[in-house]
């Protein structure tokens, strides 16, 4: 019964999101048409900052809204994310009791907040999703306006190497300073926070930090992985170049695709946690606070 109601909620959100996104996209296209190349680049840059601020403000209204910030691409995200768990009991009851067949699209389009009492945060949910998709459009548009790289700076496509490239020292590429006790502590941290798809042992974590894995670990959440590595770096337990070490040594597989995480993937994950900490980051905070300053 509960899941069925939330599936109906998903359909409702998808419908309203499409309507509102189409309107935003059309307005964006019209504005671009009236601007020259220089004005367009400046406008897109300002829009990126504005929309980012809007997204942060919306997501901070409720823990439930944060559930969608990074996982709105997930199919059936209303049910598959932690949205339901982060609702209060009263809010859950409202969503379950709402007669979805009675939803008046025209009323919503004229006044998006008209259903916020019976469907908590409804207008904020739709707005967050619309702006998330719009932000992607803006970022792609900005990339298209970037000048092509000069010929002398062109970088050839990387070739697969039979032996992974080692950097920052053959025996300790991460410049890892974790002793055995700290390695065991960080193993508990990684497992409790579910950074990887499988549980690991202190020996596996040590082999990871010394780039001696016989295979590769699989990331469950790139944002959480980035948060963990940044925290260790801030305490000087690993090098600033940890992204390159992971990439060059092919240490971690991506969550959804059978490919190794590269420096660009990790850089994106770092950008995504700049304003909003990922779910389970508090677990990492709990463990790293037990480490002394590196």
| Inter-helix orientation angle 222-234/281-288, to 10° | 20
pTM across the whole model: 0.52
Question: Rounded to 10 degrees, what is the CA torsion of 248, 253, 254, 260?
Answer: 30
In eight-state DSSP terms, residue 276 is S
Q: CA-CA distance, 210 to 191, in Å (whole number)?
A: 19
CA distance from start to end of the chain = 52
How do the pLDDT tens digits run along the chain, 294 residues long? 788 999 999 999 999 999 999 999 999 988 888 888 888 888 998 999 899 899 889 988 888 888 777 777 777 888 877 888 888 999 999 999 999 999 999 999 999 999 999 999 999 999 999 999 999 899 888 887 766 555 545 445 444 444 444 334 467 899 999 999 999 999 999 999 999 988 999 999 999 999 988 888 999 888 899 999 999 998 889 999 999 999 999 999 988 767 889 988 898 888 878 767 888 899 999 999 998 754
Q: Where are the domains of the chain?
A: 2-146, 180-288
Contact 94, 116 (CB under 8 A): no
Contact 236, 17 (CB under 8 A): no
Closest CA to 79 of 95, 59, 101: 95
């Amino acid at each position: 019964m509960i899941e069925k109601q939330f599936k109906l909620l998903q359909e409702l959100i998808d419908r309203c999101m499409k309507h509102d996104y189409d309107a935003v996209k059309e307005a964006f296209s019209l504005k671009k048409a009236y601007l020259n190349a220089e004005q367009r680049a400046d406008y897109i840059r300002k829009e990126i900052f504005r929309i980012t601020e809007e997204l942060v403000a919306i997501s901070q209204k409720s823990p439930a809204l944060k559930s969608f910030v990074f996982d709105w691409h997930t199919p059936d995200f209303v049910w598959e994310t932690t949205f339901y768990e982060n609702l209060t009991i009263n809010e859950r009851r409202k969503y379950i009791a709402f007669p979805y067949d009675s939803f008046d699209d025209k009323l919503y389009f004229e006044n998006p907040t008209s259903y916020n009492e019976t469907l908590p945060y409804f207008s904020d949910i739709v707005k967050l999703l619309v702006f998330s998709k719009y932000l992607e459009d803006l970022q792609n548009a900005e990339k298209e306006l970037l000048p092509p790289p000069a010929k002398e700076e062109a970088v050839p496509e990387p070739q697969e190497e039979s032996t992974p490239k080692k950097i920052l020292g053959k025996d300790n590429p991460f410049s890892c300073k974790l002793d055995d006790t700290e390695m065991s502590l960080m193993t508990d941290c990684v497992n409790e926070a579910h950074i990887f798809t499988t549980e690991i042992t202190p020996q596996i974590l040590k082999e990871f930090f010394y780039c001696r894995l016989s295979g590769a670990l699989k990331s469950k959440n790139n944002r959480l992985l980035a948060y963990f590595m940044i925290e260790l770096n801030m305490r000087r337990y690993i090098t600033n170049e940890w992204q390159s070490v992971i990439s060059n040594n092919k240490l971690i597989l991506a969550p959804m695709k059978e490919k190794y995480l590269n420096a660009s993937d990790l850089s994106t994950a770092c950008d995504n946690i700049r304003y909003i900490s990922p779910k389970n980051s508090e677990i990492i905070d709990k463990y790293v606070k037990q480490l002394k300053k590196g």
